[in-house]
Amino acid sequence: QKEVEQNSGPLSVPEGAIASLNCTYSDRGSQSFFWYRQYSGKSPELIMFIYSNGDKEDGRFTAQLNKASQYVSLLIRDSQPSDSATYLCAVKGSSASKIIFGSGTRLSIRP
């Protein structure tokens, strides 16, 4: 089992709809959870992080964390074509300072 798992997609969502991206992790002691956006040929860019159970909102983005289910998600409201990218879930485990990345979900927003 991979430490951090994501559906590779592609996930196709119509413009203006809600895009829902999911991630599961195996280390029950994990402390912090991150969502990065990566455009093709570019470096990852941090868009959200969350460390407490529940929801965290930032503009059109909402991160949701459920530690009991070992599940973290990212919702993108009012999806725009510029949101088309690969979204990487990353988890800081219970030991050391390293972060484990999932393989990413490719999101495509269709006009």
Partner 1 sequence: NAGVTQTPKFQVLKTGQSMTLQCAQDMNHNSMYWYRQDPGMGLRLIYYSASEGTTDKGEVPNGYNVSRLNKREFSLRLESAAPSQTSVYFCASSVTSPYNEQFFGPGTRLTVL
Distance CA 100, CA 105 (A): 15
* Residue 63 one-letter amino acid: A
State the minimum distance, in angstroms, from the CB of residue 8 to partner 1: 7
Distance CA 103, CA 38 (A): 11
Sort 54 into a burial class: Cβ within 10 Å, 0-12 / 13-18 / 19+.
Answer: exposed
| Residue 69 interacts with partner 1 (CB under 8 A): yes or no | no
| Residue 18 interacts with partner 1 (CB under 8 A): yes or no | no
State the minimum distance, in angstroms, from the CB of residue 94 to partner 1: 12
| Residue 8 interacts with partner 1 (CB under 8 A): yes or no | yes
Total number of residues shown for the chain:
111
- Find the binder of partner 1 among 20, 70, 71, 101 (CB under 8 A): 101
Tokens of 32: 């912090």
Where along the sequence are the contacts to partner 1 (CB under 8 A)? 4, 6, 8, 31-32, 34, 42-46, 49, 51, 88, 90, 92, 96-104
